[in-house]
């Protein structure tokens, strides 16, 4: 008497439960970074935070050159010692 071994049914989750975090929303895509200034020595873009003190030293994030103070960046027109130029929008 030959009996086929009973096949065990393969259990599949047809609808896997989704992990839902209450109150969580899909993160919106980050806005494109807009730089206000460009480092004169290397051309990297940078922005100057509005809450910096006027005498705060601004350095290029890429080449670490001292570009001027936050006050220099806010002056209109920018002083000649400022080593950054306004980025074109």
> Which residues in this chain contact Zn ion in the complex, by CB under 5 A?
39, 41-42, 44, 60, 62-63, 65
Rounded least distance, CB 58 to Zn ion, Å: 11
Least Cα distance to 35 among 4, 60, 56 occurs for 60
Nearer to Zn ion by Cβ, of 65 and 87: the residue is 65
Could you give phi then psi for residue 66, rounded to 5 degrees? -75, 120
Question: CA 57 to CA 70: how far, in whole Å?
Answer: 6
Radius of gyration of the chain (CA): 29
Rounded least distance, CB 63 to Zn ion, Å: 3
Rounded least distance, CB 47 to Zn ion, Å: 13
Nearer to Zn ion by Cβ, of 41 and 71: the residue is 41
């Amino acid at each position: 008497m030959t009996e086929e071994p009973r096949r065990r049914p393969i259990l599949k989750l047809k609808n896997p439960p989704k992990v839902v975090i209450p109150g969580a929303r899909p993160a919106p895509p980050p806005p494109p970074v807009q730089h206000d200034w460009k480092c004169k020595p290397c051309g990297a873009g940078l922005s100057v935070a509005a809450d910096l003190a006027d005498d705060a030293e601004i350095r290029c994030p890429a080449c670490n050159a001292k570009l001027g103070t936050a006050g220099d960046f806010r002056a209109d027109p920018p002083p000649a010692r400022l080593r950054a130029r306004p980025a074109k929008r």
